[in-house]
Structure 1
Amino acid sequence: MTTLALPKRPGEILWFGLLGAGMLAGAVAVAMVLVKGHAHVYNVTREIPWGILISTYVFFVVSSTGLCLVSSLGDVWGFEKFEIIGRRGHLLAILTLVTGFGTMAMELNHPIRMGIYAIISPNFTSAIWWMGALYGLYLVLLICEFTFLMLGNRRLAFISGLLGFFAAITAHSNLGAVFGLLEARHYWYGSFMPIYFILSALVSGGALTALIVYFNHKARGRELSPKYAEFMLTMGKLQALFLGILMFFVVWKIIPGLYGQPPEKYEATMALINGPLAVNFWFFEVLIGMLIPFLILVNPKTRTVFGVMFAGMMTTIGIFFMRYDLVIAGQLVPMREDSARGAHGLLSYFPSLAEIAIVIGAIAVCLFLYTLAEKIFDLEGGHRH
């Protein structure tokens, strides 16, 4: 553990200023929700009850799972090149998971009451109950593994890491089941979702790992050591593989929604392809999130340290929109005849300023905590080169 120093460099002061502004915006929005209530502040409705806060929750917990899986390649599965990011990866996995919980809490009217009754009156047939239980177990195992890594106890870190690895997969596949088991929502329903969620988690984890390695060194004003540079290039190859498989999955996610024009599933799919979510899908998901990063990473000339970082940044942005589109597209098809329909015969939703501010605040809090952790903890461990 190191001494916490106040920011001195202009770039560092600007960074903390931006994070402070983001957290302030989020705090003001939270206060508005607590004073006025969800119905007066959020743009969610009876027809579209899940908005951007749910998709942001999914983004954070998916990122946590991906960071855990990628970091475990070193500490659990013995890939030496990945051992250098074990502490950082697992710390950020903890922070993204906790931030995701906080975002979810702001979506609920009574989060404390929910937590109490989830314990004293569990519903074992509910995928959402299992989501809370499994992610709670996953968080405990993450904290244990990070603690043992910091203490240098490799044996206990391996045991907790192995358990955490399978807890991450179990919890995350169950999150996919929260959507996939909703038979009334034809766009989500099916066994495809749990597998799709795990694969996209690997893409998120790889992208964020590249970002924290690159910007941690740049923030300290130093170049990447040969070992970190070699890791970035290896991460780039692995990320290209993940993206290639993800694009294949996205194609097969679209085809069942078009072939034979199945009721409701077809309309939701068309909302992505040629409807209100088309810009999100084609520009942010496909182009920014997958295609351009894949082309950067698959080409040895552009798969440089900077190229891997840039591809990771683009992928992270695209994945955020991917979560949003998934959550919203599944709800745009009306389930009631008397629902107010807009263009394309679909319902409409756009997040309110308060919802957007809470999302910005959540991201700022996560980045602020991670920045402080870099100053407080020795996240290099025995891997200084």
Structure 2
Amino acid sequence: MPPIPPSPTPRIVIYYQTQHHPDGSSCSILPIITEPNIAVTHVNLAAIHLNDPPGHITLNNHVPHDHRYVTLWAELRVLQASGIKVLGMLGGAGKGSFTRLDLDEQTFEAYYGPLRDFVRERGLDGLDLDVEEPMTLAGIIRLIDRLKSDFGDSFIITLAPVAAALMSDDPKHNLSGFSYEALEVMRGTQIAWYNTQFYCGWGDLSKTAGYDFMVARGYPQHKIVIGMVTNPSNGSGWVPFETFQEVLITLKSRYPGFGGVMGWEYFNSLPGDRDRPWEWATFMTKHLRAATPGSTVPGTSVQMGSATGAQNKQNPFLLVDRDLKTKEEAPLPKIFDYYSDGSIEE
């Protein structure tokens, strides 16, 4: 099977797990295509879980065809029509999906078949495999091979390792169980990129050292997408915009093939927070994929607009360059709570 061609970089990837506000109203994703000066390339819909018995699939805490998701599926189709690729995120903090896919052949087929049918039914452009539970190398390879066999070369497969997993093969630095270095050697041509988690103590985005080390270890520049929490409420390791801007500028100038950035997650992204969560994507577009107003950003059909003075005043991070501030090392991982669709108990 030929390797998949790299998608245009730098990418801007948004994780979209919280689709509703606490009052039940929709947290619309459409502003990323209706607001000016935004060129998001990919949206990862989170989180898909494979439950018992086989065929019981949930999107967060509800079945995908639940009435609460009618608006969601309609909006995602609009994004795709606008040139943005929509992937489903499988797994994450909710464990069990990959354990079930890592068992004997008969059990694998029982759980995999409904997942394949779900991806087809919803027209997803790919899957982001967020393996945060022990899985064998043979198990993840089997899953990747089946997805490519069933959906073809154009189907996007990404993984979401913690940053430490790409810097060391020590099991203590890895939530997935298998070696990413070995996976890259054996199936790297089928993996589009890695949404690398530089937060919750697994990495530090206040400096470029982590990305530099991954490249030095042999990971291709275009396959490392650096991941950040978009709000301190979403986990430890938040990096202020003034600092992160310097990191982005350095990485983009140092590495012509820089893979891009991903944010966890959309609904409360700063600087706009819950009222204007799309402003995070505006900031990233300015520093990674800025183009002439009215032109089409490579890799998408999204046209760049021109921001108004009022919008610029609402988001001063887009205009001023501030001195780089000293930041402490990211703290060790710890339990934290914040509102999301995936944290609601039935």
Higher helix share: 1
Q: What is the TM-score when the length of structure 1 is the normalising length?
A: 0.28
Given the two structures, how large is their TM-score scaled by the length of structure 2?
Answer: 0.30
Query: Radius of gyration: which is bigger?
Result: 1
